[in-house]
Amino acid sequence: MKQRGRALNSHLRNSFWYGGKSMRSHFWNRSAALLAVVAMAACGGGGGSSEGAADDAGEAAPAAAAVDPSTVGTISGMANFGGMVPTMEAIDMSAEADCAAGYGADGPMAQNVLVSNGGLANVFVYLSEGVSGAPAASGAAELDQVNCRYTPHVLGVQSGQDIEISNSDNLLHNINATPTENRGFNISQPRAGITSTQRFQVAEVMVPVRCDVHGWMQAYIGVVDHPYFAVTGADGSYSIANVPAGDYTMTAWHEEFGTMTASVTVTAGGTAMASFDYSGEMMGADVPMGDALVLEHGTNRIRVERTQ
């Protein structure tokens, strides 16, 4: 997906990989209390006994795809961010003055890690196991290009769903999607007002999208074959409604922190909670003191410095 910085990212992914069963339930227990910070993430062994939720997922699988209000519940939660927030680097948009003018005095900043009040935005969360049968996609997802950035930065769609890509900037963008499981596309939109409609046919998390004219423009589209997904908002929260009651595995994806999973049990009419904890402290764990860690990402460089 990303050529540069791959080794580093995979390292991050490994250190953030909460794949073990006990960890999952640990998460679940803590998430229920909506605790934010990750101070005890390292003491992974202390979680409660396994409920075996994922194991008997088949038994609890919802039978029908149609939404019956009496059989569905809601999943909601947070992507929490603890510790030092990496500083986003400024994007040099001097080549496109019209775009640069759309930002405040500080100018445009990279969007790789957006944290607000302890919540991490742009985390793509979706049910990765336990879903059987789903309503067909309806309506179109929208991806806009505003002031030389993608809006939204992370987009979730259902396989087969229309993605309407539009250009609000009166200048040339190309939308270059490079999936590996789907067929990609690369379309030019040299004016405002042009709309292109595209689809991805099979599930793929994630499909990178970039604009080659503006190397800093990067978006990610998560494609899953059901409608049970969400992207965390600016405050780090998300909510997935109309989920058939049952036991599921949830996966959260973030472009710098890789994936995490959690188990979740949805009851009819209830709201299940599933939160994911990210940490700036852990991100810097391998960095020698005093040195800067550089993540290359598109044309942006994120400088992560550890403070002591």
Partner 1 sequence: MRAPRGTGIVLLVLFAGTPSALAGQEDAAAAGKVVYDRWCAECHGETGQGDGSAAASMLPRPRDFTQALYQIRTTGSGQLPTDADIRFAIENGLPGTTMPGWPNLTDGEIDDLIVYLKSFSRFFGQGPAPEPLDFGSDPGGGPAAVEAGAAAYLTMLCEECHGLSGRGDGTSAPTLEDWRGLPIRAADLTEAWVLNGGSSVEDMHTRMLTGLDGTPMPSAIDAMNSGVVSPDEVWQLAHYLASLGPREMPPLRDVIRVGRAEGGLPADGGEEAWAGVEAFYFPLSGQVVQLPRNFAPAVDGLWVQGLHDGNDIALRVQWNDPSNSPDPNWDEWQNKITTALDLDGAEPIALDSVGAPTSRPPDAVLLQFPFEPPEGTDRPYFLMGDAREPVYLWTWDSETGVGAGRGRGLDSVEPLAEDPVAGEATWEEGRWTLYLRRSIEIESDGLDFAEGTPTPIAFQAWDGSSAEVGKRSSVSTWYYILLEPPASSTVVVTPLLAMLLTGAFGLVLVRRAQDRRRDG
Q: List contacts with partner 1 (CB under 8 A).
A: 2-4, 95, 171-172, 174-178, 180, 183-191, 193-196, 212-215, 291-292, 294, 296, 299, 301, 303
- Name the minimum Å distance from CB 159 to partner 1: 14
Reading the block at residue 92, the tokens are 């040099």
Nearer to partner 1, 52 or 303 (CB): 303
Nearer to partner 1, 51 or 162 (CB): 162
- Name the minimum Å distance from CB 172 to partner 1: 4
- Name the minimum Å distance from CB 191 to partner 1: 5
- Name the minimum Å distance from CB 72 to partner 1: 33
- Name the minimum Å distance from CB 61 to partner 1: 28
Nearer to partner 1, 8 or 241 (CB): 8
CA dist 280 and 300 (Å) reads: 19
Buried b / exposed e over 214-247, threshold 16 CB at 10 Å, is bebbbbbbbbbebbbbbbbbeebbbebeebbbbb
Strand partners, 263: 249
CA dist 92 and 226 (Å) reads: 38
Nearer to partner 1, 22 or 174 (CB): 174
Reading the block at residue 194, the tokens are 């042009």
Residue type, 111: Q
Nearer to partner 1, 76 or 174 (CB): 174
Reading the block at residue 33, the tokens are 């209390």
Nearer to partner 1, 25 or 189 (CB): 189
| Other beta carbons within 10 Å of 285 | 11
Reading the block at residue 127, the tokens are 């049910």
Helix intervals (H) in the chain: 6-15, 21-32, 97-100, 280-283
- Name the minimum Å distance from CB 196 to partner 1: 4
- Nearest 5°: phi and psi at 11? -65, -45
CA dist 277 and 258 (Å) reads: 12
- Name the minimum Å distance from CB 303 to partner 1: 7
CA dist 115 and 83 (Å) reads: 11
CA distance to 89, 184, 218, per residue, from 161 (Å): 34, 15, 21
CA dist 156 and 227 (Å) reads: 9
Nearer to partner 1, 10 or 195 (CB): 195
Nearer to partner 1, 83 or 215 (CB): 215
What 3-state DSSP class applies to 273?
strand
- Name the minimum Å distance from CB 92 to partner 1: 10
